[in-house]
Structures are given as C-alpha cells and as structure tokens.
C-alpha cells in the first residue's frame, strides 16, 4: 500500500487556514500543566478547524520553544486568547450564548455517545488539569458534564488524547448527523411531510435478498454523496434536481442551461464549485449539454440523499459540508423550499455570486429575497 505524498494531503496554507470558515466550537484549557499537551491540543484544534482556543491559568501561551515541538506550527494557525481565571473565560462564553461542556467524571456526567447539544452553533469544551481535572468552581458553571467510557484498569485518558476523541465525536455528529438522520428515517420524513404526494412501498412483497442488494447499493451512493459534500477543497457543492418528465422543469430549461454554462466556468479564488444535476432517467436521457454534469438517478437514491422533494430544486453546501441553501433554481423560478438559517457572511457572499451568475445581470440582490419559505413547495413532487 503506497502512502500519500505530502502534496496529496491537500494541506491548507497559513493564509488559507486563517480565511477558512471555522467550526462552531471552542476549547477551554483549565490550568493544563504540560507544555507538550497544550501543543498537541493545538495541533488537534487545527485539524478540526476549532473556532478559538482559550488558555487559562497556568496553561502556557505561545510563543514558546517547547510548545512548537508538539504543535508543529499549529500555535501560529489556531486563534487563541488567554484568561488568568478559567471562570472568567466561562462567564464570557456564557454571555455569548455558548453551551458549556465540562469533560470530567462526575456523578452527573453523561457518556460521550449520549451527549446532546441544544445548540450546535456554539459549543465550548472544557478540559482540565492532568492531575486535578476540571476545577470544582468551573464545573459548577458548566451546562453539562461529559465523560468518555473506558473498559480497562485505568480511569483516565491523557488530556490531549481526550481532546482528540471529544472533537472527533463532535465533528462526526456536526458534519454527518443531519445526513445520517435523513438517510435512516427518510421514509418517515417524507410520509409525514408530504402524505398527499407519497406512495408507500410494499416491503412485504420484496425478498430479503433484494432488500440487501438495494440497501448495499443505496449505502454506496450515500457514502459517495458524503464524500462530495465534505470535500473542503470546493468552495461550494451544488445539487439540482431536474426532470424532462416534469412540465414545471421544462419551463425552466433555459434557467438550468444558464446555470450549467455559468457555474462550469465560475471560479472563486481560483477554485471551481462542483455542480451535479440529479436526473431521474425514467423514460428519456438527459439533454446532451447536461450529460457531463448529470447524475442518472434511476432509483432516486441521490434525490433521497439530498432530501429533495420536488423538481426542480437546488441545494447548496458550503466548503465544510453545511447546507446553506435549499430552494429555488433561480430568482425567477418558483418557490421550492426555504433558505437555511445557518450560514456565515462568507456563505452569503458566495451565494450572491452564484445567483448573480445565474441571473446574468450582475445585480447584487439581497440574499433574503432568493427564497421564500413555503410549507407546500410548488413543483413536480418526487414520488419515492
């Protein structure tokens, strides 16, 4: 097995990292003693695009020669701030609306796999001293205590190892939770939201072998969808459902053609967005000019993966895989969904660029006008 070369790891430069959108969590170090542990935690925070690192009490601050031995440059990329008292840092975070998670073994602690976040946009993880753990006064300020389950003779992990496990579990939930939930409970979601347009499948008529075959293929497609959405080297990933069998889609052929032409050449800081047109090839093939962008979705598994309900519909994911738009194909098209409320200024700017290209008029339209909320989206319903 050949290992990847350094130039294949797609590492961000210092400037690229600083301008990159960070994930919505911070890490608080409550009097962490070891310089090497702090450096290792900084390196982990870099890997998971930590929004900010709070260094408190005796925790070492950059620059420090020993720190760089384990941080290996992360001390220059990760945004950090110092507080002499950890309680002051927690109070400031609480005033900003952060949900505070104290990583400690207490009588009230929940196991990591059961940890729930009431607000995934602002989470603060507090890690404590190597000997004493998180201090009592800090634990009193936390919204919840969390511990990592252990099965051996030891009762603790190294604090830097703990940080890696905590951040990976958050990343897994943050990036994949909504996609996994969509995939697992898709039938329930669609039957409850669009009962008048859905048809129930008669699972009793299918053999177990056929079920396994279909499930394996759908999982492969879902995994490919996740890979595309989570490609951080693309400034945006754009999916459009479209069908020549849908009369409403046919009304917007010119819109789609313009989208394909513009987005195929549009660049943002030298990087091209990814465009995929999900096409249910039932009775006809995609238009010739659509073939290089089309995904032939015979079993509608791609449509399910993005949670599409109608033709045509556009879904846009940002660089780190968060859905930032779901709705109209263009500003002239019908209302087919609603704008995601979770977006940054960078996302809004990029969406404006996309839709200005689609409109072809170069006019900066307010982002809130791109889509109007609707519980009954107009279009050809996708029947699963």
- pLDDT at position 351 is 64
Q: Contact 38/29 with Cβ under 8 angstroms? A: yes
Q: Residue 92 above 80 pLDDT?
A: yes
Mean pLDDT of 321-326: 77
| CA–CA gap between residue 51 and residue 45 (Å, rounded) | 8
What pLDDT, in 10s, does the model give residues 151-186? 888 888 999 999 999 999 888 777 655 444 433 333
- CB atoms near residue 302 (< 10 Å): 23
User: Which two tokens mark 169?
Assistant: 């579990």
Cis amide bond preceding 312, omega within 30? yes
Q: Residue 190 above 70 pLDDT?
A: no
Q: Residue 325 above 70 pLDDT?
A: yes
- pLDDT at position 176 is 54
| Buried-state track 337-357, b at ≥16 Cβ within 10 A, e below 16 | bbbbeebeeebbebbbbbbbb
- pLDDT at position 251 is 72
What pLDDT, in 10s, does the model give residues 312-322? 788 888 777 87
- pLDDT at position 379 is 61
Cis amide bond preceding 63, omega within 30? yes
The mean-pLDDT minimum among 58-67, 118-127, 183-192, 224-233 falls in: 183-192
User: Which two tokens mark 253?
Assistant: 């052929």
What pLDDT, in 10s, does the model give residues 246-292? 777 777 677 677 667 666 555 544 557 788 888 876 665 677 777 78
- The sign of the torsion formed by the CA atoms of 339, 22, 362, 286 equals negative
Mean pLDDT of 97-101: 92
| CA–CA gap between residue 292 and residue 290 (Å, rounded) | 6
For the chain, give the percent of residues with pLDDT over 70.
68
Most confident of 30-39, 217-226, 333-342, 360-369: 30-39
φ, ψ of residue 80 in degrees (nearest 5)? -140, 160
- pLDDT at position 146 is 93
Q: Contact 67/39 with Cβ under 8 angstroms? A: yes
Q: Residue 40 above 90 pLDDT?
A: yes
| Residue ranges of domains in the chain, CATH in brackets | 13-175 (3.40.1280.10), 217-381 (3.40.30.10)
- DSSP class per residue in 102-117: EE---TTPEEGGG---
**Residue among 197, 204, 212 at smallest CA distance from 246:** 197
What is the Cα gyration radius of the chain? 24
- DSSP class per residue in 309-350: -EESEEEEEETTS-EEEEE-SSTTS---S---S---HHHHHH
Q: Contact 297/278 with Cβ under 8 angstroms? A: yes
- pLDDT at position 346 is 59
Strands, E assignment, 177-312: 236-241, 274-279, 294-296, 310-311
Q: Contact 60/75 with Cβ under 8 angstroms? A: no
Q: Contact 112/168 with Cβ under 8 angstroms? A: no
Q: Residue 142 above 60 pLDDT?
A: yes
User: Which helix or strand (DSSP H or E) is residue 35 part of?
Assistant: helix 35-47
Mean pLDDT of 355-366: 42
In terms of Cβ atoms closer than 10 Å to its own Cβ (0-12, 13-18, 19+), residue 299 is middle
Q: Residue 207 above 60 pLDDT?
A: no
Mean pLDDT of 331-338: 36
- pLDDT at position 348 is 61
């Amino acid at each position: 097995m050949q290992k990847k070369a350094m130039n294949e790891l797609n590492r961000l430069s210092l400037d690229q990292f600083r301008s990159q959108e960070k994930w919505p969590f911070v890490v608080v170090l409550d009097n962490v003693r070891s310089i090497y542990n702090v450096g290792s935690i900084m390196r982990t925070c870099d890997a998971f695009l930590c929004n900010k690192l709070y260094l408190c009490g005796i925790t070492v601050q950059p620059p420090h020669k020993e720190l760089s031995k384990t941080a290996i440059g992360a001390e220059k990329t990760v945004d950090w701030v110092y507080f002499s008292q950890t309680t002051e840092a927690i109070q400031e975070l609480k005033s900003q609306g952060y949900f505070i998670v104290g990583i400690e073994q207490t009588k009230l602690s929940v196991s990591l796999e059961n940890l729930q976040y009431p607000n995934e946009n602002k989470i603060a993880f507090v890690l404590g001293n190597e000997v004493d753990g998180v201090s009592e006064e800090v634990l009193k300020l936390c919204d919840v205590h969390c511990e990592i389950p252990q099965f051996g003779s030891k009762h603790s992990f190294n604090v830097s190892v703990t940080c890696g496990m905590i951040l990976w579990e958050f990343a897994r939930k943050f990036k994949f939770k909504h996609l996994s939930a969509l995939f697992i409970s898709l039938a329930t979601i669609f039957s409850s939201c669009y009962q008048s347009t859905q048809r129930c499948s008669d699972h009793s008529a299918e053999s177990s072998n056929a079920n396994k075959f279909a499930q394996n293929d759908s999982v492969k497609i879902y995994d490919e969808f996740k890979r595309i959405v989570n490609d951080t080297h693309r400034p945006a990933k754009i999916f459009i459902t479209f069908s020549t069998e849908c009369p409403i889609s046919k009304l917007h052929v010119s819109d789609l053609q313009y989208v394909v032409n513009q987005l195929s050449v549009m660049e943002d800081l030298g990087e091209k967005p990814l465009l995929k047109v999900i096409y249910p090839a039932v009775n006809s093939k995609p238009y010739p000019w659509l073939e290089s962008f089309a995904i032939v979705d015979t079993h509608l598994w791609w449509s399910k993966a993005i949670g599409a309900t109608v033709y045509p519909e556009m879904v846009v994911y940002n660089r780190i895989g968060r859905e930032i738009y779901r709705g109209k194909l263009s500003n002239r098209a019908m209302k087919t969904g609603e704008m995601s409320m979770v977006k940054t200024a960078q996302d809004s700017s990029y969406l404006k660029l996309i839709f200005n290209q689609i409109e072809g008029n170069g006019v900066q339209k307010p982002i809130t006008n791109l889509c109007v909320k609707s519980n009954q989206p107009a279009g050809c319903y996708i029947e699963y």
